[in-house]
Amino acid sequence: MNYPIYLDYNATTPCAREVIEEMLPFFGTHFGNAASKSHPYGWIAENAVETAREQIANLIGARPKEIIFTSGATESINLAIKGTFEAYGNVKQHFITAQSEHKAVLDTFLELEKKGAEVTYLPVDSEGKICLDSLENAILPHTKMICLMWANNETGVIHPIQEIAEIAEKHDIIFFTDAVQATGKIPVSTKGIHLIALSSHKFYGPKGVGVLYVRHNHDLPKPLAQIHGGGHEKSFRSGTLNVPGIVGLGKAAEIQNSSLEQEGLRLEKLRNQLEMGLLQIPNTKLNGSQTSRLPHVTNISFDGVEGEELLKKINQKVAVSSGSACTSISPKPSHVLKAMGLNPDLGRASIRFSIGKYTTEKDIEFTISWVSEVVEKLRKSS
């Protein structure tokens, strides 16, 4: 198949070659169950899992015992939020999040509301930023958790995580962050944070494996398990471990940790080149902040064209999306852009371009040319 240029790295990333090589023996030669403690097959698998646990811990500044393996970020998010709700038991509970969070977070809170929890959804401004004063003013005597993502998956906007952590600590509240888009792209630290979700396939590891970081040595409740049956992962998440996937996740973490700054600068340069070229097209607009954002993402609105047709045409030669991969089949405008105040038509005519490890300057030049051509033709025919 003749694939288009890939500029949808926020949806998923390809497994790095070194990651695949590291995983392969654990599908065959080293096929043991990491929970089999009585023979070498299990010992080798367990040792590989513990090595990966250290590699992830090193990437985010955690201790290995604070790393809990899951099937991915959605499971980690459900464990963090639902597990915390259940840990507090039958008392009045209030949670704070934002309107621009990923659907995995928003939908989980909708489920909690059905069970009686109160949830405050903070608004964001036209750049997708929250107001810290509004956050602090939203805190109630029975607030149990602040849940705000590290970096937005559609715009790349980065929240002021350290300041949010300080607010949570001041009020003795659990702080949980969805760091899926930030991990492996920018420095991520666990300082002041109780729970962090991340996903392997967003930074060149395999799909189907993720992590929930659970901070130790604090007095606030830890989440209760949502999957039972064997007490694996310190009883936070039962089930036979996906050893090949975990090995790949660990290797991906190690690779990204060694090249974080250098690759970030390269991607930022390419992203700026792409953005400048696309914004030269008349009646285009950048969605989000120009300053506090991830180095590899830009989200641009194209006025005067129909969104579904725009996306279809661009994807003939350049693979992009109109927002989260989880909602890409929906014709509705992005809930993130809606929260930022974009009108529905412009929201539908917005494209997220996310670049990565294998993006070249030639790819950027072609994309600028192709998108310009598509937009011009669509405007002429409308």
Per-residue pLDDT tens for 53-77? Answer: 999 999 999 999 999 999 999 999 9
Q: What pLDDT is stored for residue 326 in this prediction? A: 54
Q: Give the integer Cα–Cα distance in Å for 239 and 340.
A: 40
Catalytic center residues: 326
Q: Give the integer Cα–Cα distance in Å for 156 and 186.
A: 11
Q: What pLDDT is stored for residue 354 in this prediction? A: 98
Neighbouring-strand partners of residue 321: 352
A 10 A CB-CB count for 65 gives: 11
Record the pTM.
0.95
Helices (DSSP H) in 2-39: which residue ranges? Answer: 17-23
Q: Are 354 and 9 in contact (CB under 8 A)?
A: yes
Mapping DSSP to helix (H, G, I), strand (E, B) and coil, where does residue 68 land? strand
Q: Residue range 26-53: average pLDDT?
A: 97
Q: How far is CA 40 from the centre of its chain?
A: 36
Q: 93-142 pLDDT, tens per residue?
A: 999 999 999 999 999 999 999 999 999 999 999 999 999 999 999 999 99
CATH code for the structural domain at 5-12+260-381: 3.90.1150.10
CATH code for the structural domain at 17-254: 3.40.640.10
Does the pLDDT at position 2 exceed 90?
Answer: no
Q: 212-265 pLDDT, tens per residue?
A: 999 999 999 999 999 999 999 999 999 999 999 999 999 999 999 999 999 999
Q: What pLDDT is stored for residue 297 in this prediction? A: 98
Cα separation values, 34 from 51, 163, 213, Å: 12, 39, 20
Q: What pLDDT is stored for residue 1 in this prediction? A: 78
The ranges of the chain annotated as CATH 3.40.640.10 are 17-254
Q: 150-191 pLDDT, tens per residue?
A: 999 999 999 999 999 999 999 999 999 999 999 999 999 999
**DSSP assignment letter at 121:** E
Neighbouring-strand partners of residue 300: 286, 351
Q: How far apart are the first and last CA of the chain?
A: 32
Share of the chain above pLDDT 90, in %: 95
Q: What pLDDT is stored for residue 288 in this prediction? A: 94
Q: Residue range 286-300: average pLDDT?
A: 95
pLDDT tier for residue 324 given thresholds of 50, 70 and 90: low
Q: Are 210 and 199 in contact (CB under 8 A)?
A: yes
Q: Residue range 276-281: average pLDDT?
A: 98
DSSP 283-350: TEEE-S-SSSB-TTEEEEEETTS-HHHHHHHHTTTEE-BSS-GGGTT--SPPHHHHHTT--HHHHHTE
**Residue 116 is which amino acid?**
G
pLDDT tier for residue 331 given thresholds of 50, 70 and 90: low
Strand order in the sheet with 297-302: 284-286, 297-302, 350-354
Q: What pLDDT is stored for residue 333 in this prediction? A: 81
A 10 A CB-CB count for 51 gives: 15
Q: Are 196 and 179 in contact (CB under 8 A)?
A: yes
Length of the chain: 382
Q: Give the integer Cα–Cα distance in Å for 66 and 22.
A: 23
Token couple for 322 = 């109109």
Q: Residue range 192-203: average pLDDT?
A: 98
A 10 A CB-CB count for 367 gives: 24
The ranges of the chain annotated as CATH 3.90.1150.10 are 5-12+260-381
Per-chain mean pLDDT for the chain: 96
Q: Residues near 273 by Cβ (< 8 Å), separated by ≥ 6?
A: 361, 364
